[in-house]
């Protein structure tokens, strides 16, 4: 458990770096613009989110390259010339680190808004704000895990469609949040994308329908 926690913290640090840099760019853009122009500020928020997504993917790639070098070093030191870690294992841990840190920051912002001075529900705000935010945070955490599996495999085996799909769906899911407070317009598509990415990542990692059948029927694979 301690090893897993330490492994998750490393990609989480990379995600924090991407957030720091994207926040800095957004802050400079806001200060350099007319802060009284509401439409411009809204456009800058959209720009900030999209830029942050692209920067996260850049740092995901940087972390992949770092792990690839480390994996080659481990293979060189091992007796059989093979690394004890597979690409799927590295991708899973990297995605989990990205997702947990992303979810933690989302929850912190929501909890900070819940303590006041206002109360959610006043002035016709949705009473489902916290519930839908929790579900969206869960979807983002899981999506980061699935995205990393597909992203790492895409670069490892030159499957560029998977890489493009990861970046495109990440941009799409982040863009869907601008539909709030129409939560059914953001939450339902996000979960549909999550299920599709989960299935794709499962088969990419070597899963099969037979394995699923054995799992649900509590049978051991022979």
| Domain locations in the chain as residue ranges | 1-217
Give the pLDDT of residue 77: 64
pLDDT digits (tens, 9 = 90+) for 77-98: 666 666 666 777 888 888 999 9
Give the pLDDT of residue 110: 77
The CA radius of gyration of the chain, in Å to the nearest whole number, is 20
Structure token pair of residue 148: 């990393």
Give the pLDDT of residue 3: 44
Which range has the worst mean pLDDT, 103-107, 133-137, 215-219?
215-219
Structure token pair of residue 29: 């853009």
Burial of 142 (0-12, 13-18, 19+ CB in 10 A): buried
**What percentage of the chain reaches a pLDDT higher than 70?**
85
Q: Reduced to 3 states, what is the DSSP secondary structure of residue 120?
A: strand
pLDDT of 72 over the 80 cut: no
Evaluate if pTM is beyond 0.85: yes
Smallest CA-to-CA distance from 140 within 53, 59, 13 is with 53
List Cα–Cα distances, 125 to 35, 115, 121, 134, in angstroms. Answer: 25, 16, 4, 17
**Average confidence score pLDDT of the chain:** 84
pLDDT of 99 over the 70 cut: yes
pLDDT digits (tens, 9 = 90+) for 118-161: 666 556 667 778 888 889 999 999 999 999 999 999 998 899 99
The Cβ of residue 209 has, within 10 Å, a number of other Cβ atoms equal to 9
DSSP secondary structure letter of residue 121? E
Q: What average pLDDT does range 9-33 have in this prediction?
A: 87
Longest CA–CA span in the chain (Å) reads 67
List Cα–Cα distances, 141 to 13, 16, 20, 194, in angstroms. Answer: 15, 15, 19, 10
């Amino acid at each position: 458990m301690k090893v897993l926690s330490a492994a998750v913290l490393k990609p989480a640090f990379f995600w924090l770096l991407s957030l720091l840099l994207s926040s800095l760019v957004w802050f400079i853009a806001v200060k350099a613009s007319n802060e009284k122009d509401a439409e411009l500020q809204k456009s800058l928020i959209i720009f900030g989110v999209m830029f942050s997504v692209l920067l996260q993917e850049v740092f995901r790639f940087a972390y992949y390259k770092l792990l690839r070098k480390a994996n080659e070093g481990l293979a060189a030191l091992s007796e059989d010339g093979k690394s004890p870690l597979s690409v799927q294992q590295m991708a899973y841990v990297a995605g989990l680190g990205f997702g947990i840190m992303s979810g933690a920051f989302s929850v912190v912002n929501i909890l900070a808004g819940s303590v006041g001075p206002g109360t959610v529900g006043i002035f016709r705000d949705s009473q489902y704000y916290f519930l839908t935010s929790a579900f969206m945070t869960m979807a983002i955490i899981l999506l980061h895990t699935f995205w990393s599996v597909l992203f790492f495999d895409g670069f490892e085996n030159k499957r560029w469609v998977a890489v493009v799909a990861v970046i495109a769906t990440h941009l799409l899911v982040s863009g869907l949040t601008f539909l709030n407070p129409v939560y059914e317009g953001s939450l339902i598509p996000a979960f549909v994308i999550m299920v599709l990415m989960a299935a794709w990542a499962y088969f990419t990692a070597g899963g099969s329908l037979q394995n699923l059948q054995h799992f649900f029927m509590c049978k051991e694979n022979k």
